[in-house]
Amino acid sequence: EGVGPQEYTLVKLKALEPKPKIFDGIQKPIYFVAATLRPETMYGQTNCYLHPDISYSAFYIGADEAQIFVGTARSARNMAFQDMTKEFGKVNFVKGLESFKGSEILGAPLMAPLSSYERVFALPMLTIKDDKGTGVVTSVPSDSPDDLAALNDLKKKKPLREKYGITDDMVLPFEPIPIINIPDIGDLAAVHMVQLLKIESQNEKDKLEEAKSRVYLKGFYEGKMLVGKYKGMLTADAKKLIHADLVDSKEAMKYVE
Ligand code: A2H
């Protein structure tokens, strides 16, 4: 990985009803928080990913502890040192929710800011790392080959859905949304690359690396927004503006690691 700190947009996906059983009795709003380097792609969110076997935690955020975030304990500690908790450097976990497996909250309905889908669902992704970001990944299959490959796996494999208690309605209606145009690649960059390289699953590491290297650099410098407030603008310019808008509307925070 690179040297020095990386700045992310911490996007807040609000847990909707019915909430997972383990959250019974909690009154405060609960957010699954995803670290992304691409805030301008949030228009294209179709779901959220968790690793079924990674340990997550629920912890209080803000001086008034009015909100609850879900992420890895490691990310909670980082947030505590970024002045996001009541007491600097200290994490207050929700009692009984210090540690639980991703599998316990899969299938949760969520509100994803800027997405054209009113509600999206928490789905399993087996390539999520526990030592990066929050362990929660928001999914933009139009522009991320990893996200698309994992969604395609779930669409194609009913046993995979069943294994994690994911019902058809949480997966099958969700299609990649055209949000960015990249010259010579098109309006659905990841879909194009996944087809071109014949990527069949989220486990095809080398092919996915290749797809990403082809899409990202060009997307960053030549991509143009197709939707939203900054339609027509280069993605490189829209990125900072959309990050700032999401922070202003309290739908995201800045997060560094
Ligand atoms: B990105 P970097 Cl559209 N495990 O957000 C695996 N992947 C993770 C992760 C984890 N624990 N935490 C974050 N990520 C993903 C959007 C996106 C992203 C698009 C295109 C590319 C892209 C939608 N998913 O990332 O290693 C998140 O996915 C390309 C690398 O810190 C996050 O941004 O550079 C990115 O990886 C952070 O990866």
Ligand 1 center to residue 64 CA distance, Å?
A: 30
Ligand 1 center to residue 132 CA distance, Å?
A: 9
Give a yes or no: residue 182 inside a domain: no
Which residues line ligand 1 at a C-beta cut-off of 6 Å?
6, 35-38, 41, 128-129, 132-133, 135, 137-140, 143-144, 147
Give a yes or no: residue 228 inside a domain: no
Q: What is the number of structural domains in the chain?
A: 1
Q: Which atom of ligand 1 is nearest to the CA of 1?
A: 26
Position 217 scores a pLDDT of 78
Ligand 1 center to residue 159 CA distance, Å?
A: 26
Could you write out the DSSP letters of every residue in the chain?
A: --SS--EEEEEEEEEPSSPPGGGTT--S-EEEEEEES-GGGGGG--EEEE-TTSEEEEEEESTT--EEEEE-HHHHHHHHTTT-SSSTT---BPTT-S-EEGGGTTT-EEE-TT-SSS-EEEEE-TT--TTSTTSEEEE-TTT-HHHHHHHHHHHH-HHHHHHTT--GGGTTT------EEBTTTBS-HHHHHHHHTT--STT-HHHHHHHHHHHHHHHHHH-EE-SSTTTTSBHHHHHHHHHHHHHHTTSEEEEE-
Position 2 scores a pLDDT of 60
Ligand 1 center to residue 144 CA distance, Å?
A: 8
The series of mean pLDDT values per 10 residues for the chain, 257 residues long, is 84 98 97 97 98 98 98 98 97 98 98 98 97 98 97 97 98 98 94 96 95 85 95 96 98 97
Tens digits of residue pLDDT in 160-175: 999 999 999 999 999 9
pTM for the model stands at 0.97
Give a yes or no: residue 147 inside a domain: yes
Ligand 1 center to residue 8 CA distance, Å?
A: 9
Ligand 1 center to residue 36 CA distance, Å?
A: 6
Q: Which neighbouring-strand residues pair with 123?
A: 49
Position 1 scores a pLDDT of 55
Position 30 scores a pLDDT of 98
Ligand 1, atom 5: closest residue by C-alpha: 36
Ligand 1, atom 7: closest residue by C-alpha: 128
Q: What's the CATH number where 121 sits?
A: 3.90.740.10
Q: Which atom of ligand 1 is nearest to the CA of 35?
A: 13
Give a yes or no: residue 211 inside a domain: no
Give a yes or no: residue 179 inside a domain: no
Ligand 1, atom 1: closest residue by C-alpha: 36
Give a yes or no: residue 180 inside a domain: no
Range of the domain at 141: 7-174+236-256
Position 216 scores a pLDDT of 84
Give a yes or no: residue 132 inside a domain: yes
Give a yes or no: residue 1 inside a domain: no
Ligand 1, atom 36: closest residue by C-alpha: 36
